[in-house]
């Protein structure tokens, strides 16, 4: 197929993101989240890395230093975050994952082997989702409500499968600054999307690849970008989704960048720091109120049944 042969329709058919008010009169939301890939990120890049132990040690930093240091910091400032963990990592490093769960952080789905989803490989991707769900439940007793696509890719059939498996929200798309509800190609509703701001992906500044020609950026550059993006997103009343990796942000100087940024956000005082589940459930509740109000306005006598007022079961 040539690009000229592709039917000219929008890739995303979701309605525009509604402007729901944030809780407690907050002006914006900051969603700190961590992708705990450990060795799976390097194995999914090249399966031959299974015997390249120094290459795998980049990911091994998660378990030995990165995650413990991040958990220590989050405990100190009493902040709950979201950790997206592949099922392979849960099976390989149960003690690390149990430590995250013990501190009552949200644990989200991040595939099983960190395989990048591909539309031509739906059966493999279904296996990735289902094995990931099994590992989270079997080892941690967790039934996740959030999903972040490994390597940041997804497609319609997989999004439907995620919805049918009980996933309430996704956090992978890059096309908005506010949450919205996916519309699947069959016309049905999909999960809520908590869009990612690529400016807050630490891999771009700290480690894009072991042998990448891209230079690592110093603290002053990263903070300048993060603060500038936060300030403008706050003015627009949007969502700042941070995609952080313990093998990057868990490094000494880079954990300092995160600390300084969070301290500044808290110091400003009108941003809601929340987990993905908290944001998604707030969106779902606001959406339900809007639908109920619309039905009331449409009803001739202004009466809505008790069933019509209740929230959908999967919210």
Q: In which band, very low, low, confident or very high, does the pLDDT at 88 lie, cut at 50, 70 and 90?
A: very high
Q: What is the pLDDT of residues 25-34, one digit of tens each?
A: 999 999 999 9
Q: What is the pLDDT of residue 306?
A: 46
**Separation between Cα atoms, residue 39 and residue 114, nearest integer Å:** 10
Domain membership flag for residue 197: yes
Task: Tell me the pLDDT band of 312, cut-offs 50, 70 and 90.
Answer: very low
- 247-285 burial code (b ≥16 CB/10 A, e <16): bbbbbeebbebbeebbeebeeeeebbbbbbbbbbbbbbe
Mean of pLDDT values over 121-141:
98
Residue 123 forms part of a structural domain: yes
Residue 62 lies in a domain: yes
**Band (294; pLDDT cuts 50, 70, 90):** confident
Task: Please report whether residue 7 resides in a domain.
Answer: no
User: Does 11 map to a domain?
Assistant: no
Q: What's the pLDDT at 298?
A: 77
In this structure, what CATH number is given to the domain that contains residue 91? 3.20.20.370
Helix/strand/coil for 146: strand
Q: Is residue 207 part of a domain?
A: yes
Residue 23 confidence (pLDDT): 97
Predicted structure pTM score: 0.92
Polymer length in residues for the chain: 315
What pLDDT was estimated at residue 217? 85
Domain extent for 139: 26-280
The structural domain count of the chain equals: 1
Looking at residue 301, what is its pLDDT?
Answer: 61
Phi, psi of 261 (to 5 degrees): -65, -45
Residue 283 contacts by C-beta under 8 Å, 6 or more apart in sequence? Answer: 20, 169, 179, 181, 192
145-164 confidence digits (pLDDT tens): 999 999 999 999 999 999 99
| pLDDT (tens digit per residue) in 229-272 | 999 999 999 999 999 999 999 999 999 999 999 999 999 999 99
Report the percent of the chain where pLDDT is more than 90.
86
Tell me if 252 is assigned to some domain. yes
313 in a structural domain: no
308 has pLDDT over 50: no
Q: What is the pLDDT of residues 160-218, one digit of tens each?
A: 999 999 999 999 999 999 999 999 999 999 999 999 999 999 998 876 566 666 778 88
């Amino acid at each position: 197929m040539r690009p000229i042969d592709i039917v000219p329709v929008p890739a995303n058919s979701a309605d525009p993101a509604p402007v729901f008010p944030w809780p407690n009169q907050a002006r914006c939301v900051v969603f700190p989240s961590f992708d705990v890939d450990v060795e799976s990120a390097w194995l999914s890049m090249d399966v031959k890395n299974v015997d390249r132990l120094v290459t795998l040690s980049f990911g091994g930093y998660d378990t030995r230093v990165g995650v413990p240091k991040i958990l220590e910091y989050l405990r100190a400032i009493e902040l709950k975050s979201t950790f997206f963990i592949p099922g392979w990592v849960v099976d390989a490093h149960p003690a690390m994952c149990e430590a995250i769960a013990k501190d009552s952080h949200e644990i989200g789905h991040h595939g099983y082997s960190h395989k990048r989803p591909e539309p031509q490989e739906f059966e493999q991707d279904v296996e990735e989702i289902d094995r990931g769900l099994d590992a989270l439940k079997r080892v941690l007793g967790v039934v996740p409500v959030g999903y972040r696509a490994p390597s940041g890719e997804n497609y319609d059939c997989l999004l439907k499968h995620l919805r049918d498996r009980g996933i309430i929200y996704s956090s992978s798309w890059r096309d908005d600054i506010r949450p919205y509800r996916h519309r699947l190609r069959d016309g049905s509703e999909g999960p809520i999307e908590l869009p990612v701001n690529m400016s807050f992906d630490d891999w771009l500044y700290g480690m894009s690849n072991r042998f990448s020609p891209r230079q690592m950026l110093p603290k002053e550059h990263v903070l300048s970008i993060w603060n500038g993006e936060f300030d403008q997103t706050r003015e627009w009343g949007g969502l700042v989704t941070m995609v952080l990796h313990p093998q990057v942000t868990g490094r000494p100087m880079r954990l300092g960048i995160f600390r300084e940024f969070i301290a500044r956000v808290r110091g400003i005082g009108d941003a809601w720091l929340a987990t993905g589940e908290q944001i998604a459930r707030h969106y779902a509740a606001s959406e339900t109120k809007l639908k109920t109000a619309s039905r009331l306005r449409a009803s001739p006598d202004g009466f809505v049944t008790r069933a019509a007022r209740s929230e959908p079961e999967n919210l």
